[in-house]
Amino acid sequence: MTAFDRLDTSTTEVWKRARLEAHYAAQLLAAAGETLLPADSHFHFSSAVFDPETQALVGAILPSGAHLRLEIPTLTLEVHGADGSTAAHSLIGGTMAAGAAWLEEQLGATLQFPSWELPAGEVRDFGTFRADPAGHAQIAGWYDAAHRTFEAFQPPEGERSDTRVWPHHFDIAVLVTLQDDPNDPEASRTTGMGMTPGDGGIAEPYLYVTPWPYPATWTTPALPAGRWNTEGWYGAVLAGEEVVDQATVDAFIGAAYAHCAAVAGN
């Protein structure tokens, strides 16, 4: 069976807690990049990639040659040295402050966290991480299914990015550039697709496809599944409760992408 055919799409309060914990834990990887790597216009220095084999977020290579990994099912933070060494720290039972202190000791640097707003208070004030194998495994399953789906997607035109996890909104996404403007990235024509495990606007996990720039007219043609969002931003949304199987997801992405690519900037 394919990715979304294996996925438990039910969501609970346990899920929401697990989602929030994983979101905050990802800030530790982002902080390492923020502190030790030069900034780039696409924010790759603070983003991560998803490793389906270990169900982990993998940060960028640091100047020392080391890189960080966060295993989502266990909320274990690892520092992999250039020499092949590995140091691991379980976040369960501790706080963000404790995780940051351990990471600072490993990296020999005082962490600078990104300044963006997170969904539940300041990063350093977050409470104790709880052991929740079922919830954390469900989070990892959504990222795994989305990663495999996006990696398999081949746009009929344009240049696709790699699939990355963005710690600000905690979404995993891929961007297809249809027309690049090197002097003004905001003027480029793109279509993005992603999955977020939930946010302030939609509490449950959902997939999305959205064009940029937004078209002058926000049309809402029929979709095989999902709906169009026109509240604050424009794009197609497939809520987690509507995800029946991989075929549902593929049909949604195919139809939504075709429309968004056609109207981007028009």
What pLDDT is stored for residue 7 in this prediction?
A: 72
Give the model's confidence band at 122: pLDDT under 50 very low, under 70 low, under 90 confident, else very high: very low
Tens of pLDDT, residues 61-74: 999 999 999 999 99
Give the model's confidence band at 10: pLDDT under 50 very low, under 70 low, under 90 confident, else very high: low
Amino acid type, 253: I
- Across the range 92-110, mean pLDDT stands at 95
Could you give the CA distance from residue 88 to residue 201 in angstroms, rounded to a whole number?
35
What pLDDT is stored for residue 123 in this prediction?
A: 43
Question: What is the model's pTM?
Answer: 0.92
Could you give the CA distance from residue 45 to residue 62 in angstroms, rounded to a whole number?
9
Could you give the CA distance from residue 158 to residue 179 in angstroms, rounded to a whole number?
7
More confident residue, 183 or 223: 223
The residues, ordered by sequence, that sit 6+ positions from 227 with a Cβ below 8 Å of its Cβ are 220, 236, 237
